[in-house]
Copies of this chain bind each other. A is one copy, B any other.
Amino acid sequence: MSVTAAQGFQAAGIAAGIKENGNPDLALVVNRGPRRAAAGVFTSNRVKAAPVLWSEQVLKGGRVSAVILNSGGANACTGPLGFQDTHATAEKTAEALGEGHSAGEIAVASTGLIGTRLPMDALLPGIDTAVTALSRHGGEKAAIAIKTTDSVHKTAVAEGEGFTVGGMAKGAGMLAPGLATMLVVLTTDADVDARDLDRALRAATRTTFDRVDSDGCMSTNDTVLLLASGASGVTPESGAFAEAVREVCADLARQLIGDAEGASKDIRIEVVGAASEDDAVEVGRSIARNNLLKCAIHGEDPNWGRVLSAIGTTSAVFEPDRLNVAINDVWVCKDGSVGEDRDLVDMRFREVRITADLAAGDASAVVWTNDLTADYVHENSAYSS
């Protein structure tokens, strides 16, 4: 499972003392080759953490030999000194890994509190420990070491014909499109070059991580990396490879929403009958970000008026008196007005399905979100993240 499910990868997760509570906080993923192709997508937030700025540069070369990730500090909004810390982290990782590694091929990712410097006196020695702990079976430990407010670590794997795609993710809040707030490392032993990796990764994230929206808050640190070792010797047909990558991304994205801070309901919003996919996504996101609706779902109240209210704020093609809304398959709103009896809606289960029919075309999209709860408020008013 995780990042070591595919051949050619080693990983480690250790406690370096970055987190004050002594929990694991440093993960290392190493690509042992023979190939070291890589692709990455990053937050579209214009305020980017130092490791994002660094890794974007690294990925331009299309080659990554290792990824070093820390929790316990985002290294965001830390100025030039913060960037130097990221640089030093990559340098130290290359040095500790030894021959064949250079800082320019080491991606760095960080997650945790914004606006504080990382404790480099703990982090740098931790890299030596992590290198010593590297193992063919280290994927789970690496996934555990990148947790922040996550209640569980998240891993996934998909098997293709002769190749494997695996991955790990962290994220529990500040999940919003472009991307959900997260660190994700995917690995594969397929023999695929950087350009094809990039294409498969962008296609996969566009309909998975980009379509989970926990709380509308876009992070400064989002990073999704895909590393290929080529160790299987198999070059899959591009469609099959893309599907395996998408499958792992969808699995991890679903796990992120399932672990969203304070959530008691996972909400699947499907927009159908849209004039275009862009319209469907815009409407889906607008519904996903409506605090009043998210509170209503928490209270198991099939409040379709709040769905219409959210749709009405978009620029999508629709006529108000042709809108239809179903909650858990009961069409409570028909033609923009009262539909089936809302008392027929059974909302006892964790998963809630909202279907919004714009009656304007054939395009559709699915966006995932979760409810808004007092626990979310408590968690995020007490914890500086």
Interface residues of A (CB under 8 A from B): 45-48, 74, 76-79, 81-82, 113-117, 173-174, 215-220, 289-292, 295-296, 298-299, 301, 303-306, 308-314, 318, 320-321, 323, 333, 335-338, 372-374, 376-382, 384-385
Contact = CB atoms under 8 A, between A and B. Distances in A.
Nearest to A313: B218
Contacts of A74: 305
* Interface residue SS majority, chain A: loop
8 contacts: A47-B312, A48-B320, A77-B304, A77-B336, A79-B336, A115-B305, A220-B308, A296-B381
A45 B312 contact: yes
A295 B45 contact: no
Contact of A45 (B296, B309, B377): B309
Contact of A380 (B219, B292, B323): B292
A300 B141 CA distance: 35
Nearest to A45: B312
A130 to B, nearest CB: 27
Contact of A301 (B82, B216, B338, B381): B381
Given A337-B115, A377-B372, A311 B47 contact: yes
Contacts of A219: 309
A306 B77 CA distance: 10
